[in-house]
Amino acid sequence: MNDNQLLRYSRHILLDEIGIEGQQKLLGAHALVIGAGGLGSPAALYLASGGVGHITLVDDDEVDLTNLQRQIMHTSARIGRPKAESGRDALLAINPEVEVTALCERVAGERLAALVKSATVVLDCSDNFATRHAVNRACFAAGVPLVSGAVIRFDGQLSVYDPRAAASPCYACLFPEDGKFEDVACSTMGVFAPLVGVVGAMQAAEAMKLIIGIGESLAGRLLLLDGRSMEWTSIAVARNDACQVCAGRP
């Protein structure tokens, strides 16, 4: 690290659990963020400010006035621009030393698989089950840890699905691909703005812990947040031996 980096990341370096070695791991890491909206905004902003060296933002949507209530990477001046490009501008404004790749597309199939394989950690900040399941499959095929978050109305949830940990379930263990789960859009149900900040920031925290290799991740636990009472519930979750995605892995 150069002198400027030592100063920029000094508050991380002061932490015994991180230090210079941990910060160098962050600088050498690649975080893939699927979704540059409500969750992706705080998650990506903290990844950039914390010094994750390469961040790839994936989103095929454009900034809309209704987004600005909660999607804090974007501004009124950037309405109509692709969210991935708007997000890249926001991240580089905070930390011009990180590399930000903006992909204005909906990735799937081989394209998604290649992106996941190139990442140190993946953050699923999407808003639909199809994307979540596709990302989960790609992560478990590539052996890359996945940090997944979701928020609707006043309710939030967060977990880590880590194929490197033998006991860790995958997303499909909790929410089977053939399950009768209905996508609920915030455009019809609403979402309490600060809640996406809480969950998105925690996604960044879990991702950075995984990169550095400190603490205990949320693998095997599902956190549920009731934003009305501000009460957290932690639920232990186990692998599903009949899971269509991860059953039979070592």
What is the predicted pLDDT for the residue at 184?
A: 60
CATH number, domain of 142, equals 3.40.50.720
pLDDT digits (tens, 9 = 90+) for 67-97: 999 999 999 999 999 999 999 999 999 999 9
91-132 per-position pLDDT tens digit: 999 999 999 999 999 999 999 999 999 999 999 999 898 999
CA distance 212 to 223: 22
Name the strands in the sheet holding 221-226, side by side, starting at the edge strand that comes first in the sequence: 99-103, 54-58, 30-34, 121-124, 146-152, 155-161, 221-226, 231-236
Distance CA 28, CA 71 (A): 27
Q: Is residue 243 part of a domain?
A: no
* Helix (H/G/I), strand (E/B), else coil: 18: coil
Domain that holds residue 53: 3-236
244 within a domain of the structure (yes/no): no
Confidence at residue 47, expressed as pLDDT on a 0 to 100 scale:
98
pLDDT at residue 177 in the model: 84
Query: Which tens digit of pLDDT belongs to each residue from 198-223?
Result: 999 999 999 999 999 999 999 999 99
Is residue 18 one of the residues assigned to a domain? yes
Residue 103 and residue 222: Cα distance in Å, rounded? 29
- Domain count along the chain: 1
From the list 139, 170, 173, 186, the catalytic residue is: 186
In this predicted structure, the answer to whether residue 249 has a pLDDT above a threshold of 70 is: no
Task: Compute and round to an integer the Cα radius of gyration of the chain.
Answer: 17
- Judge contact between 237 and 220, C-beta under 8 A: yes
Instruction: Confirm whether 241 is domain-assigned.
Output: no
Residue 207 lies in a domain: yes
Residue 186 catalytic?
Answer: yes
Quote the pLDDT of residue 247: 82
Q: Is residue 245 part of a domain?
A: no
163 falls within a domain: yes
State how far the Cα of 171 lies from the Cα of 181, in Å rounded to an integer.
13
pTM reported for the whole predicted model: 0.95
Per-residue pLDDT of 153-199, as tens digits, reads 999 999 999 999 988 999 999 999 886 666 565 557 889 999 999 99
